[in-house]
Amino acid sequence: MTLKLQRALPASLQVLNELANDIRWSWNHAGDQLWRSIDPDSWQSLKNPYAILQTTPSSRFKQLAEDPEFLKRLQWLLSDRERYLNRQGWYQQQHGEAPLQQVAYFCMEYGLGEALPLYAGGLGILAGDYLKAASDLGVPVVALGLLFDQGYFRQTLDSDGWQQALYPNCDTASLPISPVLAESGEWLQVAVELPGRHLLLRLWQVQVGHIRLYLLDSNHPQNSVADQGICNQLYPAETEIRFIQQLALGVGGWRALRALDLPVDICHLNEAHCALVILERVREVMQQRSLDFATALCLVRAGNILTTHTAVAAAFDHFPLTMVEKYFSVYAQQFSLTPHSLMAPGIDHDKTDKPFFSPITLALNGCIAVNAVSQSHRGVMQEMLSSRYPRWPLEDIPVSKITNGVHVPSWDSAWADQLWTEAAGKDRWLGDLSGLQQAIDRQSDNSLWAFKCEERADLIHYVRQRYAKALIQRGASEQAISAANYVLDPNVLTLGFARRFTDYKRPDLLLKDKQRLARLLCNRGRPVQIIVAGKAHPQDHQGKLLIQEWVAFSQWPALKDRCVFLPDYDIALAQELVQGVDIWINTPRSRWEACGTSGMKVLANGGLNISQWDGWWAEAWQPDYGWAIGDLEGKPGPQSDKKEAQQLYHRLETEVIPAFYQRDTEGLPRQWLQRIRASMAALAPAYSSNRMVREYVDRLYIDSAKRFYSRGKNTECLLSLVEWQRVLDTHWSEIRWGKQSLVEREGGFDIEVQIYLGDVPAQWVRVELYAEQPTEKITLQKKAAMVGSVGGAIYQASVKTERPSWHYTPRIIGWHQEAVVPLECRHILWKD
């Protein structure tokens, strides 16, 4: 039951409250005209229907209640929403009979739009795009997060170009959220045990089309003043507050689902911040089914999935054991365990001689599947986790990949939307994406160039307005503010660079040779212009210096019309940039960025990429689509920075700029348009969140739900799994190799090997021949037991191959038909 804080409206307009509370309006622009007609000025500045309802005078609504044209538009919008909510989605069509009730998606931040600023960067934007795509596809998802009083910071620049951080409060009365009420009428709340008290968390709801996002709020009047402030800031600097936030999200989030009586099979952890939900699920199963901790964990593991976006080990949280033990002192009693035993699945011994509690370690021990967010990131994660899987080949380390995608309707321009609609229909992003490539291939050069030029002109208009406002805030002169109305040129090749300013993203790569860049921008025959934006973390001094360097460069007298730095990078600014730029630039240090979705957002808008050959671009790049610098093999450092800066300048000077300005007799850049068409047709569908969410369903959710139900219903199998793990942990050291014989023959070889398993049952191991580059795994079959030995047996295989026999090495691994190896069993023994 949900309490709606509704604006008092005439009876015929009451439905506006319902429409404004569903933030589908943030990506479905069918209602823009209606909201604009209520108050054009408010719409222009806010683009937030919920805020417009709260600020528009009642007299205006009385007028609209008697306006037949407005009522007609309102009725059409209601019909459109009804059609969307009642349509049979892709999931219902493809997986209507699947054994999956619901996925609970946990994330610390959500970037759904500027009307709900609960995000810090790419992780939150990705989570927001995931929810929108899940709604479009009809996937049964419920989402959990925290409601932050301040969200992330707003950025201003002082007169020296130095970043200033502001933390405006999020007034819940102005947010498109609603308190959730219990059936008995009171505000629904859950409690989480803390030392000496309970933390009370209130529940709010955000409607995201079909999906509901529930947000937990610590600002409860019965909490202490200190506890009320636990959700003040996203990613606070204080270690203890960060841990309590993770308790609130993981433990409190699962309890909220139970209070709502929502059936959930799969928990999808979007990063390890929410890993404590694993322990809460275990606690519930232990109590409901009278299972011990190890057995409950084995069952719960099958229902948990981890997606990690982190490419640097230092970025993972780690907490002192003494601090965690303090917070687990009461919680552990509900498991009938000691705090240390409860912490055990999350204790990390790898990095130092002083162990610590690591949410990523808990997630790895408590999830049945782990995925990276690009192919290159998969390799990085496998290297990062290699110490946890000693002697396992990197390729066997259990990390799959589902490359990120972007929710195209949230990022395409009105011009792009019109072109795609005419080419492929209104519902093009709501299901199967086949046919989109052919639809774009059919578009004429004239139509592609016309829509791209319109987008660029809109961007220039927006930048001039926003830049003038920024100069006013900085106290600039009247002359400078007036000149802002003439910066940039709608006919000039426009570059965009916008992201978090931190060292590894190398926002200064273009500034390595400022004179060369200035010459490139000021070329009279082939001019170029660049728009730059981005924030540095408030504690990142180096990042602030990088911002200051760009601001100073943009103020060179010769560049006043060619280079603009826009402060306060947010979703609204990002949308304008990705819709209007011709080239998106991305320059992270190789292997430091997991995926990098910003460049995906330009694809549907006809923008092209020049990017580091890393993350998603290492998968997507072809010469027909755009340009690349660097490679995955390069070693990060000053020399690679210098080399790749030279590559970037060279690409711009010899390839990008000439292609843009090479025009035919009709004034069309045919070579450029070929790239636009190829990029839009092939890459926009492939790197959409539509494709991403469908992959999660097809490759992870359905299989995990089947495994979860199998373990839950088949107690004998579940107990067998736990016994298998116990026996291998206890007796693995007893396994040893005996004599090996190998006979070469034409087209292959025959091999026999003796193995002594001791007290390990033969059915709980697998004997393999392993070869790498290319990888082969050949299972050896048990030929006979060895007389007079305990667990001794002879294994054999006849191998057909053109490779030499020395390419193959025998190995023994744990094996169970219901297990995921090596994620659930890391034991491995090679024959030396």
CA distances from 63 to 17, 72, 78 (A): 17, 14, 20
DSSP class of residue 395? G
Instruction: Give the integer Cα–Cα distance in Å for 562 and 467.
Output: 13
Domain identity same for 458 and 482 = yes
Measuring CA to CA, which residue among 316, 314, 319, 317 is closest to residue 240?
319
The 3-class secondary structure across 702-760, one letter per residue, is: HHHHHHHHHHHHCHHHHHHHHHHHHHHHHHHHHCEEEEEEEEEECCEEEEEEEEECCCC
Does 634 score more than 70 pLDDT?
Answer: no
Task: Collapse the DSSP code of 628 into the 3-class scheme (helix H, G, I; strand E, B; otherwise coil) and give the result.
Answer: strand
Does 1 score more than 50 pLDDT?
Answer: no
The pLDDT tens digits for 294-321 are 999 999 999 999 999 998 888 899 999 9
Burial of 271 (0-12, 13-18, 19+ CB in 10 A): buried
> What tokens were used for 402?
């589902």
Instruction: Choose one of 86, 114, 144: the last residue of a domain.
Output: 86
> What tokens were used for 225?
């003043």
Quick check: is 435 in a domain? no
The pLDDT tens digits for 224-244 are 999 999 999 999 889 999 999
In the block, which residue shows the tokens 């059915």?
763
Does 731 score more than 90 pLDDT?
Answer: yes
Q: Residue 248 in contact with residue 201, Cβ under 8 Å?
A: yes
Domain identity same for 760 and 668 = no
CATH of the domain at 112: 3.40.50.2000
Does 3 score more than 50 pLDDT?
Answer: no
Quick check: is 442 in a domain? no
The pLDDT tens digits for 573-596 are 999 999 999 999 999 998 889 999
Does 381 score more than 90 pLDDT?
Answer: yes
DSSP class of residue 661? H
Q: Give the helix/strand (H/E) hosting 514.
A: helix 514-521
Q: Residue 626 in contact with residue 610, Cβ under 8 Å?
A: yes
pLDDT at residue 4 in the model = 47
pLDDT at residue 495 in the model = 98
DSSP class of residue 397? S
The structure's pTM equals 0.95
Domain identity same for 56 and 135 = no
The pLDDT tens digits for 89-128 are 999 999 989 999 999 999 999 999 988 888 988 999 999 9
Domain identity same for 266 and 315 = yes
Domain identity same for 543 and 580 = yes
Angular region, 601: left φ>0, alpha ψ -120 to 50, beta rest: alpha
In the block, which residue shows the tokens 């008290």?
197
Domain identity same for 487 and 395 = no
Instruction: Choose one of 652, 687, 722: the last residue of a domain.
Output: 687
pLDDT at residue 173 in the model = 80
pLDDT (average), residues 493-520: 95
Does 802 score more than 70 pLDDT?
Answer: yes
More confident residue, 755 or 184: 755
Question: Quick one: pLDDT band at residue 45, thresholds 50, 70, 90?
Answer: confident
Quick check: is 444 in a domain? no
> What tokens were used for 828?
């491995």
Give the mean pLDDT of the chain: 94
Percent of the chain, pLDDT > 90?
A: 86
Quick check: is 2 in a domain? no
Question: Quick one: pLDDT band at residue 558, thresholds 50, 70, 90?
Answer: very high
Quick check: is 438 in a domain? no
Does 2 score more than 90 pLDDT?
Answer: no
Compute CA 357 distance to the chain's CA centroid, rounded to the nearest angstrom.
24
Domain identity same for 571 and 528 = yes
Angular region, 591: left φ>0, alpha ψ -120 to 50, beta rest: left
pLDDT (average), residues 594-620: 96
Between helices 670-678 and 445-473, what is the axis angle to 10°? 90
Quick check: is 126 in a domain? yes
DSSP string covering 478-522, please?
A: HHHHHHGGG-S-TTSEEEEEES---GGG-TTGGGTTHHHHHHHHT
Range of the domain at 469: 408-416+454-687
Domain identity same for 606 and 674 = yes
Domain identity same for 323 and 247 = yes
CATH of the domain at 799: 2.60.40
DSSP class of residue 516? H
Going along 395-481, which residue ranges are E strands?
400-401
Instruction: Choose one of 35, 59, 86: the last residue of a domain.
Output: 86
Burial of 179 (0-12, 13-18, 19+ CB in 10 A): middle
Question: Quick one: pLDDT band at residue 5, thresholds 50, 70, 90?
Answer: low
pLDDT at residue 637 in the model = 63
Domain identity same for 301 and 169 = yes
pLDDT (average), residues 385-407: 96
Does 635 score more than 80 pLDDT?
Answer: no
Measuring CA to CA, which residue among 320, 314, 319, 339 is closest to residue 329?
339
Does 293 score more than 90 pLDDT?
Answer: yes
Quick check: is 314 in a domain? yes
Name beta bridge partners: 768.
779, 811
The pLDDT tens digits for 640-682 are 899 999 999 999 999 999 999 999 999 999 999 999 999 999 9
Quick check: is 422 in a domain? no
Measuring CA to CA, which residue among 178, 211, 151 is closest to residue 24?
211
Domain identity same for 150 and 269 = yes
pLDDT at residue 632 in the model = 60
Domain identity same for 214 and 297 = yes
Poorest-pLDDT segment among 171-175, 229-233, 524-528, 696-700: 171-175
Between helices 277-289 and 359-366, what is the axis angle to 10°? 40
pLDDT at residue 787 in the model = 86
Going along 41-100, which residue ranges are E strands?
none
pLDDT at residue 172 in the model = 83
Highest mean pLDDT of the ranges 527-531, 539-543, 773-777: 527-531
Q: Residue 293 in contact with residue 337, Cβ under 8 Å?
A: yes
> What tokens were used for 61?
């609504």
Question: Quick one: pLDDT band at residue 705, thresholds 50, 70, 90?
Answer: very high
Number of domains making up the chain = 4
pLDDT at residue 636 in the model = 64
The pLDDT tens digits for 334-345 are 999 999 999 999
More confident residue, 153 or 292: 292
Going along 241-295, which residue ranges are E strands?
266-270
More confident residue, 226 or 169: 226
pLDDT (average), residues 14-39: 93
